[in-house]
Amino acid sequence: MIGIRLRSGPSTMWGPQLILIYNDAYRPIPGPRHPFALGKSAREVYSESWHVVGPLLEQALSTGKTVFYEKLLVPLPTQDGVRDAYLNYSFNPIFEDGAIAGLFGSLHDVTGEVVALRKLAESEARASRILQSIGDAVIVTDERACITDMNHVAESLTGWSLIDARGELLSTVFHIVDEKLRKPVESPADKVRRLGTIVGLANHTILIRKDGVETAIDDSGAPIRDDDGKLSGIVLVFRDITERRLAEEVALQERARAFEALQQAPVFFALLQGPDHVFTMVNPPYLRLVNNRDVLNKPVRIALPEAAGQGYIDILDKVLQGEPFVGWC
C-alpha cells in the first residue's frame, strides 16, 4: 500500500450530476485532474473510485442522510497513477426550497495513521510470535513491574493465564521463596529497578505456582530502556531446573558413595584436578604414605615439593593431556 499525503479539504457536489465545486484546500484530492475536475461531474472525475464512494453519495443524494465513514479505502488519482488512500469521508445534504440540491462535505487523509497502526500491529504480532517460540519462560513488565506480556511456558510454570496476569504486579504472579528458609525472595523486577542492570536469582529458589505446586527455577532479569535510556520495562527469563537439580543430587550421592568406598579401600588413592594438580580427595592410606601432611586443596608443588625434582609433575602433566601412565619406580 502506497500512502498519499493529502490535506483535508471541503467540496460541494451540486445537482443530480454531482458537479464538483471546491476551493484550493481540496485541490490535492483530484490531483492531476485539477483544474479539469472543477465544474465536472464527480462520477467522471472519480471514475476509478466510484464503485466505492458512488453508492454512498448516491444514497445521500436520494435520502438526504449524512454520509460519514472513517478510514474508507478509496483509489485516488495521483501524478504516479491511481493509488489507494484511507479517508475520513463526510458529506451532508444541501437543501434548496425543501429539496435536496447537492452535497457538502470534506475529506481528511488518514493514510499515514492507518499505515503506521498497521505496521505497529504487524510488529507486535511478530514480537508475540517470537516470544511464544522461546523455550524458556518469559515475562515482560512495564516500568512499574506490572505484567504486560508472557509466553505459554511462563503461563504453565506460574499457573496464571496472560489474560488474568496482565496488569498484575510481577511479585503477585511470580511468587518465589527460598527453598530452605521458606522466606520470600526479592522480586527480580525490584532488583533490576534497584541496581539498573541484569540480575539473577540466588541458588535454591522455588517458584510457587498459583495452585501451590512448587518448582525449582533459575532466572535472570534485565532492564528494558527507551531511546532516552530511561527504564521502560523489565524482561524476566526463567526455567524449570527440577530435573537438573535431581541429576545434581544423584551425582552428589554417587560421589559420596564413591568417596566412602575409597576411604575404605586398602590402596593409595588421591584425586588431582586442574593444571596445577590440586589435591581434591585422598584416602587414609595415601595420607599415611605422605606422613599425614595437609595436602587437601593444595597443588602438588606446594603439598609435596620434593616430588617436583623427581619428574612426578612432568608425568602428571602428560596424564592430564591424555597420555596414560602405569607404574612408578
If you count them, how many residues does the chain have? 329
The grid coordinates of residue 200 equal: 539473577
User: What's the pLDDT at 211?
Assistant: 93
Nearest to 236 by CA among 158, 315, 140, 156: 140
The grid coordinates of residue 1 equal: 500500500
CATH topology match: 134-240 vs 245-320:
yes
Nearest to 105 by CA among 49, 43, 60, 75: 60
Measured in whole angstroms, how far is the alpha carbon of residue 94 from the centre of its chain? 54
Residues 89 and 69: beta-carbon distance below 8 Å? yes
134-240 falls under which CATH superfamily?
PAS domain (3.30.450.20)
Give me the residues of the chain with pLDDT under 70, please.
Answer: 1-9, 201-203, 248, 308-310, 325-329
49 Cβ partners below 8 Å, 6+ apart?
74, 75, 76
CA distance 260 to 267: 13
As beta bridge partners, residue 137 has 238
586442574: which residue's cell? 274
Q: What's the pLDDT tens digit per position in 258-302?
A: 777 777 777 788 888 888 888 888 888 888 888 888 888 888 888
In 10 A of CB 310, how many CB atoms?
11
Residues 122 and 115: beta-carbon distance below 8 Å? no
In degrees rounded to 5, what are phi and psi of residue 216? -75, 130
User: What's the pLDDT at 326?
Assistant: 65
Q: Which fold has domain 9-115?
A: Beta-Lactamase (3.30.450)
Measured in whole angstroms, how far is the alpha carbon of residue 167 from the centre of its chain? 16
Q: Structure pTM?
A: 0.52
- Tell me the domain boundaries of the chain: 9-115, 134-240, 245-320
Residues 103 and 61: beta-carbon distance below 8 Å? yes
Buried residues in 207-236 as b, exposed as e (16+ CB within 10 A): bbeeeeeebbbbbbbebeeeeeeeeebbbb
Phi-psi region of 89 (alpha: psi -120 to 50; beta: other; left: phi over 0): beta
In degrees rounded to 5, what are phi and psi of residue 217? -140, 160
User: What's the pLDDT at 3?
Assistant: 38
User: What's the pLDDT at 164?
Assistant: 95
Pick the CATH number of 245-320 from 3.30.450.20, 3.30.70.60, 3.40.30.10, 2.40.50.100: 3.30.450.20
User: What's the pLDDT at 9?
Assistant: 65
CA distance 277 to 202: 31
